[in-house]
Structure 1
Amino acid sequence: MLLAAAAGILSVFLLAGLFLRLMNYELRKDEQLYVPPARLLDNQSLYQDFFYNHTPGSAWWFHGVRQLLGSDYLLFDGRVGVLLAWLVFAAAIGAFAYAATRSAWIAWSIAVLSLVNELFLTQAGMSATNNFLPLPFAFIGFGLFIVAVTSKTPLPWLAMTSGFFLSLAVVFKLSAVAFILPAAMGAFLFPRHFCIRERLWRVALPLAGGGLIGGLPILYFLVTDRARFLAHVVGYHLGPHAQYFQDGRAPDEDAVTTLSGKLALAHELWLGGTIAVGLAALAMVVGIWASDEGNREQPRAAQRGVALLVAGAFCVSAGFSLIPTPSFPQYFAPPLIFLPLGLIVLVAGLSPAGREQAKVALIAASVIVIAAQAPRLLQHVGKIMSPERWAVTRVHASGGDIARQLAAARLTGKVATLAPVYPLEGGVPVYPELATGPFAFRTADRTAPDLASFYQMVSAAGVADLFDADPPAAFLLGFEPELEKPLLDYATARGYRPVADFQIRDRYGTAQLYVRPAG
């Protein structure tokens, strides 16, 4: 009873710490791309009306959360969207682990070991982007696939549901296709005691059918506007985006562009910190599994086959993590879904005595992980009763200040900025060409004309024509002085004046508001 109470208290602590960290994690540059669609989709279309270089899932997710909450706190809405993904992930791990082991302690420990780590508690899992959103759906999809192929009689509806969730992960992020490939190969190899024809009809075809249903949002764009969709989601990343970083244009973003650098980053992220504790726990469970001589629920060969499937899927996902150039830490998060899957598969095959040994090891490891991450989870506890001090609230307040400054000056029109989240938080419109941050603007001069024709985009040389045709009510500048220089030059030449005693500070610098002169 005492242990159960302790687990309950720790769970509340983890949930509260997670919520406070999400609400107080400083606004990231990537969120200037992902957060604006929460408002823009009220009356605009993805890809056609503004630049968006990813599959549509995250844009629709954040917009849907905003509609559900009825909120105009855009960053808050986005972070709540990420929190929902955390809750789905934790619940899914717990449900699969408990179903396989019938132990609440093992389920709780595997969830803690899998989720409480440096990678998830920093940008990958704290910012309102698409980095964390695919993971719970990929985990559910692959978990259901394992259940489908380990059943005594393969269940086609489970395989279909698995395919649905695996494709749904791709709707959030294209790189999640890495989870589909090992499942597709496994569908022709498992269950081992079935012939290839039975695997085809009971596993492979239902998996493909579910995948088609889950992938309908992508199929819609491929059918209705394929060239534009591929230009945004594929062409941008392979062309101007990669070239921008290879040219060394963003030294402050810690981008990794070489294979050796990616391998070093992967080593640091996957074998360091509390992830190493989770891997150590996995190694202990492997040792218990290898030496366990008690009665097992599954034959040893079947257990080994499923364990190898999970290990192979991890290798495929890890290989995909090394492909993107440039590379960032958040790109190395997807393979971590195989830590809980591996633990669940191994513990499920243990005898009752072996499970007791594994339970002790997993509980001990989870306590170490919580202790190690406590400073991060406790960092903002002092703000729990002061929501006005939360980062999401301060960003919204800055947007409200912009709106009030324009109203006081009796100005109407758009705000020109590479940080559109701020004016959008205040309900102030922005230019479609700059509506999703600096990403299209900074690569415009290295984007081929045929590719650029699909984007709502303006180059440094084209800003004067854009603003002459539709003069901005104001400029918000200062976060990226070098990149913003053409905008500042235009504002200075046209007599825009900085608002006295008005500044917005974030981790990228201090921005000023320049308002249009009277007349």
Structure 2
Amino acid sequence: MYQTLKRTAGLTFDRAAWAIPVASALLGVFVFVRLMNFELRQDEQLYVPPVDLLDHHALYRDFFYNQVPGSAWWFYAVRHLFGTHDLLLSARLGVLFVWIALAGGICLVSYLLVRNWLFAFCAVVLTCANELFLNQTGMAATNNLLPLPFALIGTGLFIHGACRGRVRPLVLFVAGVSLALAVCFKISAVAFVPAVGIAAFLVPKTLPARQRLRMVVAPLLVGGIVGAIPILVYLIAEPKLFLAHVLGYHTGAHIGYWTAHGQEGGGVALSALAKIRLAWSVWFSGAVPVAIAAVLALVFVQRQFDRTFSRLPRASAASMVLAASTVLAMAVGFLPTPGFPQYYALALVSLPLALALAFSALAPFERRQGLGVLVAATVVVVVCAVPRFAEFLPLTLHPDKWTVTKVHRHGIAIRQALSEHGLSGKIATLAPIYPLEASLPVYMELATGPFIYRSAEFVDPGMIRYYRTTSPATVGSLFEKDPPAALLLGFDPVLERPLRDYAVRHGYVQDPSVDFTDRYGTAQLFVRPQ
């Protein structure tokens, strides 16, 4: 078996040229089909509506959005790039492009550090084919996957441009842009900035301090400013509004709601001990331990050929930067309360970089064994991921049954029901994706799902003016002033109770033609009486 793997790993790129693209294309098809069929998640009620709302409304000012602006504008741009009215489809395609960017980023870093395409393919699979990415973190239209390729590319380009011989100012400029863009998609990606920023003043050691400032620090800083423009625009124009949504909500109302109503378990961690258990399950389950074992095996391959095995080698600048970034990314995952599995995904960016650094340290005659290790690890990971990859394959040739298609069709069904009743006006719901799919108007106070609605009572009185929202206690008053044409309910009995009470009190009638089901319940459309 070992000799077979060794011979397989010894393939040149010319001999493996047909295998790598074919395997990559197959994996790409698996990811695409899974993305199109993954069940709609509640978080998408926040991230998808801006795809439609940004046509006529201002982010933060006109509707609630508790994230940095990159994800909202990215999904919006993808929709207009394809000219489609299918909101969920547009957002999921945006995630698909990020998958491509992540795979491409790993290939780019691998080529710069290793110059071996078989290694690059193995690194992509070992990083991407893990349980976390094949579930909500990588399959739902949220911002959880979006910063990863930019954090990886930024850190990898810094290592290549400043820590490995000749200084490359242009590469460092691109690294700064990439790291800043990661933060524009998710604020926690700032974890990769401090280590790189400090290292910029220290490496390379052979460069005089003044030249280091000019050739390393300056390009990195300028690139960072350019990449941060999406955040700087909002931060400069309306700083209090921006900070209230992005930071104030997460440090105030969000914690208050989960402390009062949340229960641990099922991917929710409130206590420090529960967060540690959850992080451990993310970092040391599925494909991740296999990738970590591959890194350690590469180090062992190097050491077994090293006559100075008894002495620990000095850590390189590149490995120090990567280690510091990894520790910070792991620590940042523990800051939010409650903790969710996706909060611990950022640290996984370090895996392909660690693989590349470990493999690049091998001598040419050691790389054959190293590739054998990687090929074996890749085979194990692919076999373990087969159930996830194959889950939706029977639907590949039936796009009418895809989740993205069904969600759009449900929206159209709501519009048809209103038309049959001769009604027009706003739809009141905590699941705004459905009416927005059919270009139906919704209340701006509820336009991005239940998140600020359910937390409004925990908002500091001095901060509530920064949110356009209502609450279970005040939503009835909102409807009295501006009665809805219909109410779409059935997805959260507790939070929807005030909406249902209003419908019953004012004689709204349920339309039986709208009865689709998702993972949260069965839709019930209550229409205004004639």
Q: TM-score, normalised by structure 1?
A: 0.96
Q: Residue 235 of structure 2 aligns to which amino acid in structure 1?
A: L
Match of 1:36 in 2: 49
Which whole-Å deviations, capped at 9, do the CAs of 1:150-180 have from their partners, x for residues lacking one? Answer: 2433222222221111011111111111011
Find the aligned partners of 2:155 and 2:15 in 1 and give their Cα distance. Answer: 35
Find the aligned partners of 1:395 and 1:235 in 2 and give their Cα distance. Answer: 32
Find the aligned partners of 1:204 and 1:12 in 2 and give their Cα distance. Answer: 39
Deviation at 1:94, TM superposition (A): 1.0
Find the aligned partners of 1:382 and 1:158 in 2 and give their Cα distance. Answer: 44
Which whole-Å deviations, capped at 9, do the CAs of 1:79-106 have from their partners, x for residues lacking one? Answer: 1000000001101111221232221111
Find the aligned partners of 1:200 and 1:483 in 2 and give their Cα distance. Answer: 55
Match of 2:117 in 1: 104
Q: Is the 8 A contact 2:426 2:441 kept in 1?
A: yes
Indicate yes or no: 2:293 matched with 1:258.
Answer: no
Deviation at 1:344, TM superposition (A): 0.9
Match of 1:171 in 2: 184
Q: Is the 8 A contact 1:292 1:350 kept in 2?
A: no
Which whole-Å deviations, capped at 9, do the CAs of 1:185-218 have from their partners, x for residues lacking one? Answer: 1112211222433332221232122111111111
Q: Is the 8 A contact 1:72 1:425 kept in 2?
A: yes
Which whole-Å deviations, capped at 9, do the CAs of 1:129-167 have from their partners, x for residues lacking one? Answer: 000001111111111110111243322222222111101
Find the aligned partners of 2:348 and 2:466 in 1 and give their Cα distance. Answer: 35
Secondary structure at the aligned position of 1:247 is classed as: helix
Indicate yes or no: 2:111 matched with 1:136.
Answer: no
Match of 1:182 in 2: 195
User: Judging changes above 3 Å, is the alpha-carbon distance between structure 1 residues 251 and 147 closer, same or farther for their aligned structure 2 residues?
Assistant: closer
Match of 1:208 in 2: 221
Match of 1:330 in 2: 342
Find the aligned partners of 1:104 and 1:391 in 2 and give their Cα distance. Answer: 35
Q: Is the 8 A contact 2:163 2:317 kept in 1?
A: no
Which deviates further from its counterpart, 492-501 or 304-313? Answer: 304-313
Q: Is the 8 A contact 2:417 2:514 kept in 1?
A: no
Match of 2:471 in 1: 459
Match of 2:387 in 1: 375
Secondary structure at the aligned position of 1:351 is classed as: coil
Match of 1:354 in 2: 366
Match of 2:9 in 1: none
Match of 2:423 in 1: 411
Q: Is the 8 A contact 1:24 1:392 kept in 2?
A: yes
Find the aligned partners of 1:289 and 1:252 in 2 and give their Cα distance. Answer: 42
Match of 1:290 in 2: 303
Deviation at 1:311, TM superposition (A): 1.6
Aligned with residue 146 of structure 1, among 149, 156, 159: 159
Match of 2:409 in 1: 397
Match of 2:316 in 1: 304
Aligned with residue 498 of structure 1, among 510, 516, 522: 510
Find the aligned partners of 1:441 and 1:23 in 2 and give their Cα distance. Answer: 29
Find the aligned partners of 1:26 and 1:314 in 2 and give their Cα distance. Answer: 31
Secondary structure at the aligned position of 2:524 is classed as: strand
Aligned with residue 238 of structure 2, among 222, 225, 241: 225
User: Judging changes above 3 Å, is the alpha-carbon distance between structure 1 residues 422 and 85 closer, same or farther for their aligned structure 2 residues?
Assistant: same
Secondary structure at the aligned position of 1:450 is classed as: coil
Match of 1:424 in 2: 436
Indicate yes or no: 2:529 matched with 1:509.
Answer: no
Indicate yes or no: 2:68 matched with 1:55.
Answer: yes
Which whole-Å deviations, capped at 9, do the CAs of 1:332-365 have from their partners, x for residues lacking one? Answer: 1111111001111121122111111111111111
Which whole-Å deviations, capped at 9, do the CAs of 1:296-325 have from their partners, x for residues lacking one? Answer: xxxx75x73322221221111111111111
User: Judging changes above 3 Å, is the alpha-carbon distance between structure 1 residues 67 and 332 closer, same or farther for their aligned structure 2 residues?
Assistant: same
Find the aligned partners of 1:16 and 1:432 in 2 and give their Cα distance. Answer: 37
Find the aligned partners of 1:253 and 1:411 in 2 and give their Cα distance. Answer: 41
Which whole-Å deviations, capped at 9, do the CAs of 1:448-499 have from their partners, x for residues lacking one? Answer: 2221101110012221221122110100001000111001000110000101
Match of 1:297 in 2: none
Q: Is the 8 A contact 1:179 1:317 kept in 2?
A: yes
Match of 1:388 in 2: 400
Q: Residue 184 of structure 1 aligns to which amino acid in structure 2?
A: G
Find the aligned partners of 2:305 and 2:241 in 1 and give their Cα distance. Answer: 56
User: Judging changes above 3 Å, is the alpha-carbon distance between structure 1 residues 282 and 248 closer, same or farther for their aligned structure 2 residues?
Assistant: same
Q: Is the 8 A contact 1:277 1:365 kept in 2?
A: yes
Find the aligned partners of 2:303 and 2:381 in 1 and give their Cα distance. Answer: 25
Match of 2:88 in 1: 75
Q: Is the 8 A contact 2:411 2:435 kept in 1?
A: yes
Which deviates further from its counterpart, 247-256 or 54-63? Answer: 247-256
Q: Is the 8 A contact 2:37 2:402 kept in 1?
A: yes
Q: Is the 8 A contact 2:267 2:278 kept in 1?
A: no
Q: Is the 8 A contact 2:111 2:120 kept in 1?
A: yes
Find the aligned partners of 2:516 and 2:241 in 1 and give their Cα distance. Answer: 35
Secondary structure at the aligned position of 1:483 is classed as: coil
Q: Is the 8 A contact 1:41 1:63 kept in 2?
A: yes
Which deviates further from its counterpart, 160-169 or 29-38? Answer: 160-169
Which deviates further from its counterpart, 258-267 or 124-133? Answer: 258-267
Which whole-Å deviations, capped at 9, do the CAs of 1:275-311 have from their partners, x for residues lacking one? Answer: 11111111101112333449xxxxx75x733222212
Q: Percent identity?
A: 44
Q: Is the 8 A contact 1:164 1:215 kept in 2?
A: yes
Q: Residue 366 of structure 1 aligns to which amino acid in structure 2?
A: T
User: Judging changes above 3 Å, is the alpha-carbon distance between structure 1 residues 421 and 269 closer, same or farther for their aligned structure 2 residues?
Assistant: same
Unaligned runs of 5+ in 2: 1-13, 308-312
Aligned with residue 267 of structure 1, among 272, 280, 285: 280
Aligned with residue 22 of structure 1, among 1, 16, 35: 35
Find the aligned partners of 2:264 and 2:128 in 1 and give their Cα distance. Answer: 31
Q: Is the 8 A contact 2:173 2:219 kept in 1?
A: yes
Which deviates further from its counterpart, 327-336 or 495-504? Answer: 495-504
Match of 1:156 in 2: 169
Deviation at 1:506, TM superposition (A): 0.6
Find the aligned partners of 1:102 and 1:254 in 2 and give their Cα distance. Answer: 39
Q: Residue 201 of structure 1 aligns to which amino acid in structure 2?
A: R
Match of 2:10 in 1: none
Find the aligned partners of 2:364 and 2:216 in 1 and give their Cα distance. Answer: 31
Which whole-Å deviations, capped at 9, do the CAs of 1:27-68 have from their partners, x for residues lacking one? Answer: 000000000000000111100110000100000000000000
Q: Is the 8 A contact 1:34 1:129 kept in 2?
A: yes
Unaligned runs of 5+ in 1: 295-299
Q: How many residues align?
A: 512
Q: Residue 491 of structure 1 aligns to which amino acid in structure 2?
A: A
